């Protein structure tokens, strides 16, 4: 056999160049397209935003204008009439027909915050107008519910009586009593939350050019804050019947939350002094991360005041504001899965899980706060978050937020989207949502008791409660799609608002502004 001739160095070099070039071409062709993948994700999240906003339309009471929900009609037109007050608008709280003012005001605050931070991105997917229309539907109601100083109507309908009926809102015939708080029966929590909602909304309508409405909202907000602060007490102590439904565990968080929003809305130093003064000593619980919800506004307050630390020359450098910011960072470290101080309150698949009632409220709410805080970090060129020696950045917060959103949209063991009307990444969504209007055919007019046959029916809801975010899975990640499974299957407007906030934040294409005004 002859001798094998060795290739020269030039030949080897040419071969290597060819291999490298070919490999580069192959990599360029075959590599994952990060930009394209991000575009697909953001399209999915924008779709989820559009779907979520429809649930607020489904929940509207009163004389519906430009109604787009075929199975909904006018309802509750006489609410408040016996008091010569128009309380016909507002939102039904969940699958029932009660207007609970406390969670409704929280819904408005979150919706307003979302529009303020991500409104420009919402405009690009034609969701700014639906969002502001829904916000105004609530704030019109809240303004009417505050007919004079030191009086606030906080509920329409009786929870216990309402839950003994299963009928459509358009044909309900049970009595609609109105409950109020006043100087002798105070409700600091609900008055302060309403003040927060109206202050945040005043900024929205100021930006949109409706100056007179903005000023009206701010006037009511200031009056309600003074009422809340001067006459202190839990509204569930003044109105014991609400304990079964929305029992408030404290009012200090609402006072700080409202003070923070009024500082942003008015620019008045007295509100900055309030949130950094004795109220902070009494209620801020610095360095103690808690769970954001309709009942606990502290994490939201901490993130909102961290915004002031990042962008506000008057508040930046204030030692107490810096303590709020530090606590906001502890909230972030608590939910980041790889943080040394991360919570154990999560499912095996990584969903934050705190309560079996309405379990999705906490992961969705904290995902929104996390992504928003990451956006503050980027805008302020502060790229490092220290969690007990481990460093994280805005992208880590965004990844966490997307993981919670993806779980909601179907990346979970049940392969189910928990957002009705949105298949997302799953194969199905709940069809037996605990919702009176959705469960009864639109051409039926059952009495209070006659409608229970639809609660007990084994047929899927005839009307789709599009955009409803159901309660969610248990800790073991199971979900039973049954109409009488209230814990898991009943949607709420405040969880819907948090979902709108989350999907808006992770589909955003615009940076947050340094100013909310």
What gap in Å lies between CA 71 and CA 301, rounded to an integer? 38
pLDDT in tens, 117-136: 999 999 999 999 999 999 99
pLDDT value, residue 41: 58
Q: What is the per-residue pLDDT for 331?
A: 98
Q: How far, rounded to the nearest angstrom, does the alpha carbon of residue 174 sit from its chain's CA centroid? A: 31
Please report the pLDDT score of residue 42 as a whole number.
63
Q: How far apart are CA 270 and CA 259, in angstroms?
A: 9
Q: b or e along 112-133 (b: 16 or more beta carbons within 10 Å of the residue's beta carbon)?
A: bbbbbbbbebbeebebbebbbe
Give the pairing type, strands 178-181 and 152-156.
Answer: antiparallel
pLDDT for 173 equals: 85
**Contact status, residue 170 vs residue 70, Cβ threshold 8 Å:** no
What's the rounded Cα separation, in Å, for the pair 281 and 77? 45
Contact by Cβ (8 Å): 422, 47: yes
* Per-residue model confidence (pLDDT) at position 193: 98
Question: And the tokens for 460?
Answer: 């899927």
The dihedral built from the CA positions of residue 463, 469, 475 and 476, taken in this order, carries a sign that is positive
Q: 244: buried, middle or exposed (CB in 10 Å: 19+, 13-18, 0-12)?
A: exposed
Closest by alpha carbon to 500, among 118, 66, 76, 231? Answer: 118
Please give the pLDDT value at position 9: 40
Distances from the Cα of 323 to the Cα of 58, 257, 319, angstroms: 41, 15, 6
pLDDT of residue 3: 35
> Which neighbouring-strand residues pair with 91?
60
Instruction: Copy the structure tokens of residue 9.
Output: 């160095």
CB within 8 Å of 270: residues ≥ 6 apart: none
pLDDT tens digits for range 411-428: 999 999 999 999 888 889
Segments of the chain scoring below 50 in pLDDT: 1-40
Active site residues: 434
> In CATH terms, is domain 35-179+281-506 a member of 1.10.540.10?
no
Does the pTM of the predicted model rise above 0.75? yes
């Amino acid at each position: 056999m002859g001798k094998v001739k060795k290739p020269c160095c030039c030949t080897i070099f040419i071969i290597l160049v060819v291999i490298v070039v070919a490999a580069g071409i192959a990599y360029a062709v075959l590599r994952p397209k990060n930009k394209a993948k991000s575009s697909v994700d953001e399209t999915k999240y924008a779709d989820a935003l559009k779907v979520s906003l429809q649930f607020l339309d489904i929940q509207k009471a009163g004389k519906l204008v430009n109604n787009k929900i075929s199975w909904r009609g006018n309802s509750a037109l006489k609410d408040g009439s016996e008091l010569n007050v128009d309380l016909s608008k507002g939102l039904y709280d969940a699958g029932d027909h009660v207007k609970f003012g406390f969670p409704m005001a929280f819904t408005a605050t979150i919706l307003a915050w979302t529009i303020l931070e991500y409104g420009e991105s919402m405009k690009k997917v034609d969701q700014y107008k639906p969002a502001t229309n829904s916000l105004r539907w609530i704030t019109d109601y809240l303004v009417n519910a505050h007919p004079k100083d030191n009086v606030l109507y906080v509920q329409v309908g009786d929870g216990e009586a309402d839950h003994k009926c299963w009928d459509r809102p358009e044909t309900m015939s049970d009595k609609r009593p109105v409950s109020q708080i006043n100087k002798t029966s105070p409700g600091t929590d609900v008055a302060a939350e309403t003040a927060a909602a109206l202050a945040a909304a005043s900024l929205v309508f100021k930006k949109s050019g409706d100056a007179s409405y903005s000023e009206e909202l701010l006037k009511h907000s200031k009056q309600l804050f003074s009422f809340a602060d001067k006459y202190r007490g839990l509204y569930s102590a003044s109105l014991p019947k609400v304990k079964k439904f929305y029992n408030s565990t404290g009012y200090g968080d609402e006072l700080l939350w409202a003070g923070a929003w009024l500082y942003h809305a008015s620019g008045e130093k007295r509100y900055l002094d309030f949130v950094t003064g004795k109220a902070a000593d009494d209620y801020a619980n610095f360095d103690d991360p808690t769970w954001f919800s309709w009942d606990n506004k502290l994490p939201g307050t901490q993130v909102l005041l961290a915004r002031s630390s990042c962008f506000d020359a008057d508040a930046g450098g204030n030692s107490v504001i810096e303590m709020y910011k530090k606590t906001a960072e502890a909230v972030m470290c608590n939910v980041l899965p790889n943080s040394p101080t991360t919570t154990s309150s999560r499912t095996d698949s990584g969903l934050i899980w705190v309560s079996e009632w309405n379990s999705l409220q906490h992961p969705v709410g904290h995902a929104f706060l996390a992504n928003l805080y990451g956006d503050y970090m980027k805008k302020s060129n502060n790229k490092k978050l220290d969690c007990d020696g481990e460093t994280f950045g805005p992208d880590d917060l965004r990844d966490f937020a997307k993981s919670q959103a993806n779980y909601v949209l179907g990346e979970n063991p049940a392969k189910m989207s928990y957002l009705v009307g949105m298949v997302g990444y799953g194969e199905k969504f709940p069809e037996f949502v605990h919702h009176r209007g959705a469960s009864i055919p639109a051409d039926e007019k059952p009495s209070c008791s006659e409608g229970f046959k639809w609660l007990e029916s084994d047929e899927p809801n005839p009307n789709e409660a599009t955009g409803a975010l159901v309660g969610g899975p248990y800790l073991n990640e199971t979900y039973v799609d049954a109409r009488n499974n209230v814990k898991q299957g009943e949607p709420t407007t405040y969880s819907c608002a948090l979902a709108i906030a989350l999907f808006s934040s992770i589909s955003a294409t615009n940076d947050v502004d340094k100013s909310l005004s």
